[in-house]
Structure 1
Amino acid sequence: MYAVLSASRLMKAAEVRKVCAELRNNPTLLMALELTAKEELYQRFEKEKAASETLTAS
Protein backbone atom coordinates (compact mmCIF):
# COMPACT_ATOMS: atom_id res chain seq x y z
CA MET A 1 0.00 0.00 0.00
CA TYR A 2 1.25 3.46 -0.88
CA ALA A 3 0.65 6.55 1.20
CA VAL A 4 1.15 10.18 0.36
CA LEU A 5 2.62 12.40 3.03
CA SER A 6 1.48 15.99 2.90
CA ALA A 7 3.14 18.56 5.11
CA SER A 8 1.63 21.83 6.21
CA ARG A 9 5.09 23.17 6.91
CA LEU A 10 8.57 22.71 5.51
CA MET A 11 10.15 19.59 6.97
CA LYS A 12 13.74 18.43 7.00
CA ALA A 13 14.51 15.11 5.31
CA ALA A 14 15.16 13.45 8.69
CA GLU A 15 11.71 14.49 9.92
CA VAL A 16 10.07 13.09 6.80
CA ARG A 17 11.91 9.78 7.19
CA LYS A 18 10.87 9.63 10.86
CA VAL A 19 7.18 10.23 10.05
CA CYS A 20 7.24 7.71 7.19
CA ALA A 21 8.86 5.07 9.40
CA GLU A 22 6.30 5.70 12.14
CA LEU A 23 3.43 5.27 9.67
CA ARG A 24 4.97 2.17 8.16
CA ASN A 25 5.32 0.56 11.58
CA ASN A 26 1.82 1.52 12.74
CA PRO A 27 -0.88 0.61 10.17
CA THR A 28 -3.66 1.61 12.59
CA LEU A 29 -2.36 5.17 12.68
CA LEU A 30 -2.13 5.18 8.88
CA MET A 31 -5.75 4.01 8.60
CA ALA A 32 -6.89 6.72 11.04
CA LEU A 33 -5.10 9.44 9.08
CA GLU A 34 -6.52 8.12 5.82
CA LEU A 35 -10.06 8.11 7.23
CA THR A 36 -9.66 11.69 8.46
CA ALA A 37 -8.40 12.83 5.05
CA LYS A 38 -11.26 11.07 3.26
CA GLU A 39 -13.82 12.67 5.58
CA GLU A 40 -12.38 16.13 4.87
CA LEU A 41 -12.48 15.50 1.12
CA TYR A 42 -16.05 14.23 1.31
CA GLN A 43 -17.16 17.29 3.30
CA ARG A 44 -15.53 19.61 0.75
CA PHE A 45 -17.18 17.70 -2.09
CA GLU A 46 -20.60 17.94 -0.43
CA LYS A 47 -20.14 21.66 0.22
CA GLU A 48 -19.15 22.30 -3.42
CA LYS A 49 -22.00 20.13 -4.67
CA ALA A 50 -24.53 22.05 -2.55
CA ALA A 51 -23.13 25.37 -3.78
CA SER A 52 -23.28 24.30 -7.43
CA GLU A 53 -26.88 23.10 -7.09
CA THR A 54 -28.01 26.54 -5.93
CA LEU A 55 -26.43 28.25 -8.93
CA THR A 56 -28.20 26.20 -11.62
CA ALA A 57 -30.95 27.81 -13.68
CA SER A 58 -34.34 26.14 -13.82
Structure 2
Amino acid sequence: MSFCLTASRLMKASEVRKLCAELRNDPAILVLEMELKKEWYKRKMASAPTLAIAHK
Protein backbone atom coordinates (compact mmCIF):
# COMPACT_ATOMS: atom_id res chain seq x y z
CA MET A 1 0.00 0.00 0.00
CA SER A 2 1.27 3.42 -0.78
CA PHE A 3 0.72 6.70 0.99
CA CYS A 4 0.92 10.24 -0.29
CA LEU A 5 3.15 12.38 1.88
CA THR A 6 2.51 16.10 1.82
CA ALA A 7 4.42 18.82 3.59
CA SER A 8 3.62 22.40 4.46
CA ARG A 9 7.24 23.37 3.87
CA LEU A 10 10.14 22.19 1.77
CA MET A 11 11.96 19.34 3.43
CA LYS A 12 15.45 18.03 2.96
CA ALA A 13 15.73 14.53 1.53
CA SER A 14 17.16 13.28 4.83
CA GLU A 15 14.08 14.63 6.66
CA VAL A 16 11.77 12.86 4.23
CA ARG A 17 13.66 9.57 4.61
CA LYS A 18 13.53 9.86 8.40
CA LEU A 19 9.80 10.59 8.39
CA CYS A 20 9.08 7.70 6.01
CA ALA A 21 11.13 5.33 8.18
CA GLU A 22 9.17 6.42 11.27
CA LEU A 23 5.85 5.87 9.50
CA ARG A 24 6.95 2.51 8.10
CA ASN A 25 7.91 1.26 11.58
CA ASP A 26 4.84 2.63 13.40
CA PRO A 27 2.72 -0.34 14.60
CA ALA A 28 -0.52 1.67 14.49
CA ILE A 29 -0.05 2.37 10.79
CA LEU A 30 0.82 -1.28 10.11
CA VAL A 31 -2.44 -2.37 11.76
CA LEU A 32 -4.41 0.23 9.81
CA GLU A 33 -2.78 -0.90 6.57
CA MET A 34 -3.69 -4.55 7.22
CA GLU A 35 -7.31 -3.62 7.99
CA LEU A 36 -7.56 -1.58 4.80
CA LYS A 37 -6.08 -4.41 2.74
CA LYS A 38 -8.60 -6.89 4.23
CA GLU A 39 -11.49 -4.53 3.45
CA TRP A 40 -10.20 -3.97 -0.09
CA TYR A 41 -9.87 -7.75 -0.64
CA LYS A 42 -13.43 -8.36 0.63
CA ARG A 43 -14.81 -5.72 -1.74
CA LYS A 44 -12.78 -7.09 -4.64
CA MET A 45 -14.03 -10.63 -4.02
CA ALA A 46 -17.64 -9.45 -3.61
CA SER A 47 -17.57 -7.68 -6.97
CA ALA A 48 -15.81 -10.53 -8.81
CA PRO A 49 -18.06 -12.76 -10.90
CA THR A 50 -18.42 -16.32 -9.69
CA LEU A 51 -17.81 -19.35 -11.89
CA ALA A 52 -21.47 -20.38 -11.70
CA ILE A 53 -22.59 -17.07 -13.18
CA ALA A 54 -19.87 -17.07 -15.82
CA HIS A 55 -21.02 -20.45 -17.21
CA LYS A 56 -24.69 -19.50 -17.65
TM-score under structure 1 length normalisation: 0.55
**Higher RCO (Cα < 8 Å, 6 or more apart):** 2
Unpaired runs of 5+ residues, structure 2, are none
More helix by percentage: 1
Q: How does 1:11-30 map to 2 (within 5 A)?
A: 12=11, 13-19=13-19, 20=21, 23=22, 30=26
C-alpha separation between the residues in 2 aligned to 1:9 and 1:31?
Answer: 18
Q: Which runs of 5+ in 1 are unaligned?
A: 1-5
Matched length: 45
Query: What is the one-letter code of the residue matched to 2:15?
Result: E
- Computing the radius of gyration from Cα coordinates, the structure with the larger value is 2
Aligned partner letter, 1:14: S
Q: Measure the CA separation in 1 of the matches of 2:3 and 2:15.
A: 11
**How large is the RMSD of aligned CA atoms in angstroms?**
2.7
